[in-house]
A and B are shown apart, each in its own frame.
Chain A
Amino acid sequence: MRTTSTAPTLILGARPYGEEPTDILLAEGRILAMGEQARVQAQELEQVQELDAAGLIALPGMVDLHTHLREPGREDAETVETGGRAAAKGGFTAVHAMANSSPVADTAGVVEQVHRLGRESGWTEVYPVGAVTVGLAGEKLAELGAMAESSAQVRMFSDDGMCVHNPVLMRRALEYVKTVDGFIAQHAQEPLLTEGAQMNEGDVSAVLGLPGWPAVAEESIIARDVLLAQHVGSRLHICHVSTAGSVEIIRWAKQRGIDVTAEVTPHHLLLTDELVRGYDPVYKVNPPLRTTADVEALRHGLADGTIDVVGTDHAPHPTQAKECEWSAAAMGMTGLETALPVVIKTMIATGLMDWRRFAEVTSEAPARIYRHSQQGRPLQPGEPANLILVDAESTQTVDPTGHASKGRNSPFRGMQLPGSVRATFLHGHPVVLDGELNSPYLPSQTQREVTS
């Protein structure tokens, strides 16, 4: 066993946050120096790798609070290894693996397993999310304390995919996580209002004859939960907000000083229920694609700070789960490898946000919500070297067959999207170089070759 063999890297001419070009020296997992000092100090080091980054934008490594890695249990859909590769290629230096694995991540054993698989994989940091209730069944609390005290040190708890719909249970969960300084991430979906629901309820569902999923089923749970969070003084995170009404409720809650944070997915920033007209199940997702008015409200909510973070809700599925009747198809879409281009297209190219705000919503805010100390940090000397280099000028056509994820269910298939991740550094180690996987970061083991 030896520590990581990563050589120092001198990044030449990158533009931090899209601002003035500068040099950045990475060594020993940290940003050692920036500007003129970078070259000076590089001369004192051995085996420095120089990386020409002229024209590239340097950003803190992205942090995804909402990823489905499917392992354990559905390794045909994704594994920690393949999902980690997808994350690295997409520019994520940390992902949070949702609890709906099989077995469910509702015990210390399962979260420790996922955490260990992440460390052994080495493409990104993997933080398991603990289930709020046993088996995601919404009936009794899982052992949140045991998961918090485990080696995975879980702080985020969610029944994602299922809503903690029982108001008393939700209240108790919000109270209980205070004892471990954690937070609840709620999948807001009133189950009785969405029985058999297949798509957004509105003009399109009326014509298609698919049972509708009303916006109120999401909004009523958010309204209830922000009031519960206020009452018990706890931290609440709302997963994948999808409606204009939800944005309004969260804005109101924040104005009242309620400790709520909110997330939006890239697909809800770009796609609408009009796409369902062809009944292609690649567009089937929970929460469903909504309307243009909702997309607009989400974009503005993200720009003005009502929505705090972008979370991918990366949900890979095997081919047969999508190659079937709409109502029989699985819900979910891949997202790790398309998140950055979609956020550039919807938020940067539209002028709604700048790169500083991009860094906030994709990195700093999610890291702050989880209370990470080594993620979402500013690009400054002394900070951990978790950062990415982005070519914002390029465009590419999305081809899911080229994705590192096992999932081919990308709703962006065939779309031309701006921007690409050229390099991802995890603790100073280049896990991605030239837009391709390089090698994993394995601090306590021999470096492995990339096998495929």
Chain B
Amino acid sequence: MRHLLSTADLSRTEALSILDTAEEMAAVSTREVKKLPTLRGRTVVNLFFEDSTRTRISFEAAAKRLSADVMNFSAKGSSVSKGESLKDTVQTLEAIGADAIVMRHWASGAAAQLAASDWTDCAVINAGDGTHEHPTQALLDALTLRRGWTAAQGADPRCADLSGMRVLIVGDILHSRVARSNIWLLRTLGAEVGLVAPATLLPVGVEKWPVSVFYSLDEALASGPEGGPDAVMMLRVQAERMGGAYFPTAAEYTRRWGLTDERLAQLEHHRTAAGAQPMILHPGPMNRGVEISAAAADSPMNQVLDQVSHGVSVRMAVLHLLLSSSERNTA
């Protein structure tokens, strides 16, 4: 593995290797000295063409815990806002001596273009590209799901996949890079995926995806052999979709697709095959009162803070695996 661009490119073996490495990294994060020397002398650049403080500080924490030098390059206030091309920006970073580029970009495919170009030899990590993919988010979600799934069965998370697990992804699938990355990774790991959304927020062609599609959240929450899901992943509704173009009003969206108090109560009473309560995930930041009620946001079933800490572990694992395998190129 030279770059991490898309979960669609990951084999089951590669995905499990990242997740198992992330488990080891998580153990480091609980120590008093939360630092490993593995990437000492290596330079990681966070190249962000779009604001995302959460993702950036997560990558920054991950790189620093591996002792890498970290540079943050934000498009705002840099020459990019004056019209510098991606090519020139990246060649500049290459000249400064970057070993890995973690890139968040507003354009779908920007990370893939960078990796395919001859502009840089850096390892490229896609930290979200347009409405395409966000692979480290999917990996941290998978780490979270695997922890819960195996804990309920009293099993060791290491080497386990998600076979038999049923995961619902609810919300704006059409514009969600998180959803796309999760769908491919969850399927690779053996989980069943259900998508729940108004038809306006599902892509044309979704019927060919290896998923079930529900227009009704209530129907989806009652589906399956156990009469309910093992996990529900709520996606953030972007403010710009709420103007009446994709659904009439935020209130109608909440009534039909929100995780309301009533639906939370239904989930609280549901038991998975292993006898556990279903997990609730959200990539954050949450719109309380829109896609998720305050009670659901604060519920002990909600994994949102675990997801954040797992994000650091997964990103440490990815940086470690990409940079230690490319060491000979830069030595």
Q: Which residues of A contact B (CB under 8 A)?
A: 198, 201-203, 205-212, 214, 278-280, 320, 323-328
Contact = CB atoms under 8 A, between A and B. Distances in A.
Contacts of A325: 86, 105, 107, 109-110, 113
A203 B205 CA distance: 5
Interface stretch (B66-74, B126-134, B149-157): B126-134
B3 interface: no
A205 B208 CA distance: 13
Contacts of A210: 108-109, 130-132
Contacts of B175: 209
Contacts of B180: 207, 209
Interface in B82-113: 85-87, 105-110, 112-113
The 3 closest A-B pairs by CB, nearest first: A279-B109, A209-B132, A325-B107
Interface residues of B, number: 27
Contact of B113 (A205, A211, A326): A326
A326 B204 contact: no
B116 interface: yes
Contact of B204 (A205, A208, A320): A205
A206 B112 CA distance: 17
A211 B245 CA distance: 15
Contact of A324 (B86, B177, B205, B208): B86
Interface in B132-147: 132-133
Interface centre among A198, A208, A278 (most CB of B within 10 A): A208
A207 B105 contact: no
A124 to B, nearest CB: 34
B112 A212 contact: no
A324 B132 CA distance: 17
A320 B205 contact: no
Interface centre among A201, A205, A209, A278 (most CB of B within 10 A): A209
A331 to B, nearest CB: 15
B251 interface: no
Contacts of B206: 206
A225 B107 CA distance: 35
B61 interface: no
B203 A323 contact: no
A206 B204 contact: yes
A323 B177 contact: no
A289 to B, nearest CB: 15
B85 A320 contact: yes
Given A202-B204, A212-B204, A324-B86, A207 B8 contact: yes
Given A279-B109, A324-B86, A328-B107, A208 B132 contact: yes
Interface string B238-282: 000000000000000000000000000000000000000000000
Contacts of B205: 202-203, 205-207
A214 B109 contact: no
19 contacts: A206-B203, A206-B204, A206-B209, A207-B8, A207-B205, A209-B180, A210-B131, A212-B204, A279-B108, A279-B109, A280-B116, A323-B85, A323-B87, A324-B85, A325-B86, A325-B109, A326-B107, A326-B108, A328-B107
A398 to B, nearest CB: 20
A209 B177 contact: yes
A203 B108 contact: no
Given A209-B108, A326-B109, 4 more contacts: A206-B205, A210-B109, A211-B131, A328-B107
Nearest to A198: B108
B290 to A, nearest CB: 23
A89 B201 CA distance: 48
A79 B106 CA distance: 34
Interface centre among B116, B130, B206 (most CB of A within 10 A): B130
A328 B203 CA distance: 22
Nearest to B112: A279
Given A207-B180, A210-B108, A324 B87 contact: yes
Contacts of A320: 85
Could you say which of A278, A323, A325 has the most chain B C-beta atoms within 10 Å of its C-beta? Answer: A325
Contacts of B133: 209
B108 A327 contact: yes
B209 to A, nearest CB: 8
A278 B208 contact: no
A209 B87 contact: no
Given A214-B204, A327-B130, A208 B8 contact: no
A57 B106 CA distance: 51
A209 B181 CA distance: 11
Contacts of A324: 85-87
A326 B131 CA distance: 13
A421 B179 CA distance: 50
Nearest to B180: A209
Contacts of A328: 107
A187 B207 CA distance: 31
A195 to B, nearest CB: 10
A304 B107 CA distance: 41
Contacts of B87: 323-324
A324 B107 CA distance: 10
A209 B130 contact: yes
Contacts of B109: 208, 210, 279, 325-326
Nearest to A320: B85
Contacts of B209: 206
A191 to B, nearest CB: 15
B110 A278 contact: no
A279 B180 CA distance: 17
A323 to B, nearest CB: 6
Contacts of A278: 112, 116
Nearest to A328: B107
Interface string B282-325: 00000000000000000000000000000000000000000000
B208 A203 contact: yes
A293 to B, nearest CB: 14
Contacts of B129: 209
B68 to A, nearest CB: 27
A322 to B, nearest CB: 11
Nearest to A204: B205
A279 B85 contact: no
Contacts of A206: 203-206, 209
Interface string B198-218: 000001111011000000000
Nearest to B202: A206
Contacts of A323: 85, 87
Contacts of B177: 209
Contacts of A279: 108-110, 112-113, 116
A330 to B, nearest CB: 13
A208 B8 CA distance: 11
